[in-house]
Amino acid sequence: MFIVAQFFRILVIIANVLSMQMKNKKQIILMFILANLFSAINFILLQSYSGAIICLFAIIQTFINKIFEKKQQQVLKVIIGIYIVISIILGAITFNSLIDILPIICSILYTITIIQDKEKNIRRISLVNIVLWIIYDIVCQAYTAAISDLLMTISTIIGMYRFDFKRNKNEVEEQS
């Protein structure tokens, strides 16, 4: 099962690296869905159920949020609160050790990430989220996951440079 788990993590690597190189939110979110699906499978195969359940919940959140976006409505604050409570409950159900707190925090950060309107904010919050996942991956011996998240960190920083910092610098120079 360990080898099969690593195959799914390779798929996560591809989806994650692509996500931060996407220009618009819709494309970024689609890659997030794929990455979370493959991550959940990876964590299930590694018997790291806290991480798996949080990844599956992230997919559900994303689909619910897409319904609101299609109606051109903001996700209600009460729903965001429910997401956070569910994240805590899911984490508590699968809690085995202190490291299982990290997926709960990551789930809450994901909730905050996917309600952002600006891609710049998505990338910034994602960066913090990814670093926490790296710690979880290493402790759970999901080494391919840690490599995946490290590549995601690099991709996020590149995306931040390309779309956030470089663009802002060019806009400032044009205004001068």
User: What's residue 171's pLDDT?
Assistant: 63
Give the C-alpha separation, 171 to 166, whole Å: 9
For residue range 134-150, list pLDDT tens digits in order.
Answer: 999 899 887 888 888 89
Statement: residue 172 has pLDDT above 60:
no
Please answer whether residues 8 and 41 qualify as being in contact, where contact means their C-beta atoms are separated by less than 8 angstroms: yes
Statement: residue 169 has pLDDT above 80:
no
User: What's residue 168's pLDDT?
Assistant: 64
For residue range 13-43, list pLDDT tens digits in order.
Answer: 888 878 878 878 888 889 989 999 999 998 8
DSSP 160: I
User: What's residue 155's pLDDT?
Assistant: 86
Average pLDDT (101-106) is 92
- What is the pTM for the complete model shown? 0.77
Query: What are the residues whose beta carbons fall under 8 Å from the beta carbon of 70, sequence distance 6 or more?
Result: none
User: What's residue 148's pLDDT?
Assistant: 80
